[in-house]
Structure formats: C-alpha cells, structure tokens
Amino acid sequence: MITWLSRFQRLFPFAGQPNGVMDRLGGRILVYVGVTFIVGWLALSALVSRIHEHLIMSQNERAVLLVTKSVASGLRTIMLAGDAEIAADFIKNLESVADVVDFRILRHDGTEAFLTNDTIRIVNGRLGGDRFPLRKKENKKQVLAKDSEALRKVLTTGREVPLYEQDPNKGTPLLTFVAPIPSQDECRACHGHTEPVRGVIKLTMSLAKARADVEKARWWIFGFGTLIAALVMTIIHLAVRRSAVTPLERMARILTTPENNTLNRIIPEEGCAEFRQVASAFNQMTTQLSTAWDRLRGEHDKLNTIVLGSHEGIVVTDRLEQVALVNPAAERLLGKSSDQIRAEGFLQLFNDPDHMQALCDDHQHELPGLAWFNNRMLQTHAATIFDANGDPIGSAAMIRDVTREKALEDELRKLSNTDALTGLYNRRRFDTALVEEYDRAKRYGLILGVLLFDVDHFKRFNDEHGHDQGDRVLKGIAEVMRSHFRSVDYPCRYGGEEFCVIMPSTGQAGVGRSAERLRQSIEKMVVDGLKVTVSIGVAIFPGTGKEGSAALLKAADLALYTAKRQGRNQVCHFTPGLTDAPQE
C-alpha cells in the first residue's frame, strides 16, 4: 500500500503538494479506501474469473467425454454388424462436425485403423476363408507414438486420458480425449480373447468458443465490479466527509485563524459526541499549557536576570556542542564577542582545546581550572552534562576572574612556603609537596622524580670567602634553578647549602638529563668572580624498592652521598645496591 501511494505521488506530484489531494484528510481517506477496495475487488474478480473458467472448462471436458463415449458405443455397434466400411464413413462424418478438429480410431501401436489390411487378415484367418474382402489400397499412418504416455495409460488402465494442447497453426486451445474401445464378448469371435481394449479413440475438440465465453464472462465481472466499486467508494466518501472531514475542517479553520493562534484559543464544543470530547480535551490541554507557559516564562525571566546580570562568565552548548548561550560577563572576561565565541566553539574559549577538554572529562576533575588569559587569572569550572540514559546533552563553563584573589593567595603562599634568602620553596613546602605528589603518582600510576644536591666543599668556601659571599652564591644557584625547571616542578632549599627538586610525571631519562644540565649550568655560573660545583643525587618512583615519600627522599640522599664519594661535581642515580655512607 505504501509503495503504491509513493508511486502515485511520483506520477502525480500535485497530490503531495500543500492543498493537494493527498494533503487533505478527505482525499487521503478516499485514496486509502479506494486503493484497498480496488485491490480487494481485483483479487476477488480474479478468483471468481478463475473459478468460472474452471467450471466452464470442466463442463466442456465432461461434454467431450460424453461425445467420446457415445462415439465408442456407436463404433462398437457398427463393428458388431460387420460393417467396417461404414465405420470409416462414420469417422469422416464426425470430422465435419463443428468444433471437432480431429477424430481417429487407433490400434494398440498408435497407427490409424481402417487404412491397412492387417486386422482383416487376422480376422479372416481366425474365421476361415475370405469373410472380409481386402482393401485394394493401404495407407499406414502413425498418429500416436508407440511409447506415448497417453496411449500407455489408456491400454493399461482402460480409462480415458484428457490432453490440453495448442493448435500450432491458429494458436487456439485444443482438448484431446484418448479413450479406450473395450473388448466385449461379441468381439472375441473375430478378435480373440487376449486384449481387454480393442482399440483407441482420439477425439480432438477446439476450445476457442469456450475460451471466448470465459473472456466474455471475465469482462462482465470486471465491468460490473467496477460499477459496484465506484458506487461503494462514492458512498464511503460522502459518509466520511459528512461525519468526519467536514467537522475536522471546521476545527482546523478555527485553529489556523491568525487571531486564534495562541495558547488561549478555545474550540467550540459542538458536533457529534466524539468531536465534543476532542474539543473539550483540547481546551483543557491549552489551559494547562498556558498556565505552564506563564510559569516557564517567569522562571525564564529569573534565569535571564541571573545569567545576564552575573559577574561570572557563563557559556553553554547544546547536544551538538554548538555554543547556545554566552552572557556579557563571558565576553568581557575572554575579550571576545558572542559571535566570535559561537564561531570558534566551546573548546576554544581559551585557545587551548586540550585544557578545556581536560576540564570537561570526569576523570580529570582534579586538575586546576586556572588559566592566565586576556591579562586576567581566570578560574573555570566546566563539565559535560548527561541525561538519565548517560547520553551527553551539552557542556557548560562558568568563568570567574580571580586575578586579585590569586595575587593575594600567591603572596600569602609565598610568605609561608618560600625561603627568605633564595625565594625558592622552603623545607616546609617541600615536605608537603613530596607527600602530595607521591600519593598522586601512586594513585594514578605516574612517575615521580626527586633531585637532591648540595654545594661541594661549601663549608670551606664560607671559611675562605665569608658567609655573605656564600649567601650570594646560594642566591645565584636559586636563580639558575628557577630558570631551569618547569612551572609544575618544585625547586626547594632543603637547608643550608642543600637543595632539592620534585619533578612530577618525569621518567628517569628526563630527570637525568635535567640534573646534568643543572650541574653544568651551576658549574658555569660566576658569582663575584667565584665558581662552585654541585653533586646531585637522583631517585625515581617507582624504583626505590620501598614504599613512602620518606623512602624516596632517602634514596635520593644515598645517591647524593655516592656522587660525593665518587669525586663530587657529578650526577648519581639511585640503585638498590647503594649503601649509606657518612658525609664530609
């Protein structure tokens, strides 16, 4: 049905256009009912025609069978009278009958009877003398093949066999009956007792008239059915239009009138009971929707006031990750217009997609959301929002300017966590950071490196050049460290001339290279014309063989002692075989 309707619309494009046949309820119902009725009627007509054809052909077959049996009975009577020549004339007369295409009397071998002397000789021999005269001219004709299936069935079963064929010249249908001529007691005097079937009749009738009757009946059925179908469709169309289409069209006009195109429109409750119920339900629904809309609009106004008046930037996306909302504070903090933010996309708020993606990922929620952007320190809270099925419905970011707070925080942190002489992290901050980074590395399976070093022969240096000069050297080393390590690393003054560095997420090779560069940089450093060298111990987690941040620091300390023991001014990595040794 659907396939037919789609083909109908392709053939008649106007049917699918607005206000076209298929665009209106009455037209749709008429087409659906019409197509269903026509398909059903065609199927019924085909079935009736087929049954009628079968009945006509069966009746015709019975008539031909009766003719065949009557011919067999007449031939039997003629043959019992001993008038074989009359039988031949009887056959010729039958061939001239209307609709008889062919009539033959056949022997057991399929050849036509009464054309040769074979049977006459056998009969004369059995009776003695020349009871029946021989034919002067013989003409043997093979009508059916000796191995013909129809001939075999007739001779073995003694029953008639119908054959439907096609006239090779005219193309008209033919019905052929191959029927037996039973052998009776009266026949045995001439023909003997061995054969239950004396001969075979082959009668072929033309079915042209029968076919013509079938076609005529078929056209009558189709024509009458078409009239009935048209009448039924007309009645159905009028009934549907009166009872359903007209009330619906009146309702549609009310709903589509411009002045009624609001949630406050009311449909008159008129017409039949079903339409009154529909109108009543619609009116109740619009009343509820209107109330809900008023509430929603009030909440929308509140939310608009909060979002647009907020000093914090707000950016929200939809399901397709397209930016759907940008408040003025976000434009001000990011230094971008709303159109630019929408065009660049959510992940480009800070021109750093990786940073924004990390903030949105749940497993990265511990990463700090601080970024220096547009000459401001911005704190960002971002997340991807999911529905009840776990599907993402959008992302949201809240941006806050924490430049002043960050400056005050940094100042306080600096005062509490930095060494007064060098400006590096102090021992207190080092101990806290080492525990934090060790726990983090262990929790997430990360690598953590620790460098521990001190100035070679620093006590002798102080004795020779004074403590003030020693302090200036320590400040110089601190400057080298600040320029050498990353922002995520922790360069610290551990105490006296000892320094240490915590390097998160850095493998042994990276820590080793960094340590060697640091050693070389300090060796090249000149402070007031003086130079110093350092010995550096390196330890990596995992790899110390023991648990805990203290064990990691102890491993670095052992590596430092080993570097001093091996001649100083070098980098030594911890291995499990290192043992403790006294310092100078």
| pLDDT tens sequence across 393-423 | 888 888 888 888 888 877 777 777 888 899 8
pLDDT of 351 above 70: yes
Report pLDDT for 16.
47
Q: Which of 395, 320, 329 is nearest to 360 (CA)?
A: 395
CATH number of the domain at 418-573, please? 3.30.70.270
pLDDT of 67 above 70: no
Residues ≥6 apart with Cβ < 8 Å to 418: 424, 425, 426, 429
Q: Which residue has the higher pLDDT, 442 or 282?
A: 442
- 165 φ/ψ angles, rounded to the nearest 5 degrees: -135, 180
| pLDDT tens sequence across 79-132 | 555 555 555 555 656 555 556 777 777 777 778 777 666 666 666 666 666 666
Cα 286 vs. chain centroid, distance in angstroms?
37
Helix axes 273-309, 246-256, angle to 10 degrees: 20
Q: Is 10 left (phi over 0), alpha (psi -120 to 50) or beta?
A: alpha
Rounded Cα gap, residues 134 and 124, in angstroms = 10
pLDDT of 11 above 50: no
Q: Which residue has the higher pLDDT, 214 or 459?
A: 459
Whole-Å CA distances, 17 to 13, 23, 251, 277? 7, 7, 21, 31
Whole-Å CA distances, 496 to 453, 455, 474, 562? 11, 10, 9, 20
Rounded Cα gap, residues 377 and 333, in angstroms = 10
Q: Which residue has the higher pLDDT, 577 or 408?
A: 408
CATH number of the domain at 310-405, please? 3.30.450.20
Report pLDDT for 521.
93
pLDDT of 267 above 80: no
Query: What global pTM score does this model have?
Result: 0.35
pLDDT of 570 above 70: yes
Residue 513 CB neighbours (<10 A): 13
- How many contiguous H segments (helices) and E segments (strands) does the chain have? 18, 14
Confidence of residue 263 (pLDDT cuts 50, 70, 90): low
- 496 φ/ψ angles, rounded to the nearest 5 degrees: 60, -125
3-state secondary structure of 313: strand
497 is catalytic: yes
Range 6-40 burial, b when 16+ CB lie within 10 A, else e: eeebeeeeebeeeeebbeeebbebbbeebeebeee
pLDDT (average), residues 342-365: 80
Whole-Å CA distances, 540 to 518, 537, 551, 553? 17, 10, 11, 10
pLDDT of 32 above 80: no
Query: Do the beta carbons of residue 198 and residue 87 sit within 8 Å?
Result: no
Report pLDDT for 575.
87
Domain with CATH 3.30.450.20 in the chain: 310-405
Length of the chain: 584
**364: its two tokens:** 């990265």
For CA atoms 253, 255, 258, 260, the dihedral sign is positive
**291: its two tokens:** 């109330």
Whole-Å CA distances, 383 to 361, 395, 401? 7, 6, 18
- 456 φ/ψ angles, rounded to the nearest 5 degrees: -65, 135
3-state secondary structure of 540: strand
Domain with CATH 3.30.70.270 in the chain: 418-573
Q: Which helix (H) or strand (E) element contains residue 255?
A: helix 246-256
Query: Do the beta carbons of residue 284 and residue 266 sit within 8 Å?
Result: no
pLDDT (average), residues 437-456: 92
pLDDT of 437 above 70: yes
pLDDT (average), residues 453-463: 91
Which of the given ranges, 117-121, 173-177, 219-223, 459-463, has the highest pLDDT on average? 459-463
- 396 φ/ψ angles, rounded to the nearest 5 degrees: -140, 145
| pLDDT tens sequence across 139-191 | 777 878 878 888 888 788 878 888 877 777 777 788 887 888 776 655 555 65
Residue with tokens 């290279």: 513
| pLDDT tens sequence across 491-545 | 999 988 999 999 998 888 888 999 999 999 999 999 998 999 999 999 998 877 7
Q: Which of 83, 87, 95 is nearest to 114 (CA)?
A: 87
Rounded Cα gap, residues 161 and 469, in angstroms = 135
pLDDT of 71 above 80: no
Rounded Cα gap, residues 335 and 375, in angstroms = 10
Report pLDDT for 451.
93
Rounded Cα gap, residues 573 and 557, in angstroms = 10
**Position 204, amino acid:** T
Query: Do the beta carbons of residue 492 and residue 426 sit within 8 Å?
Result: yes
Catalytic: which of 497, 498, 516, 584? 497
Report pLDDT for 368.
58
Q: Which residue has the higher pLDDT, 254 or 425?
A: 425
Report pLDDT for 359.
81
Report pLDDT for 42.
74
Whole-Å CA distances, 415 to 412, 495, 544? 5, 17, 33
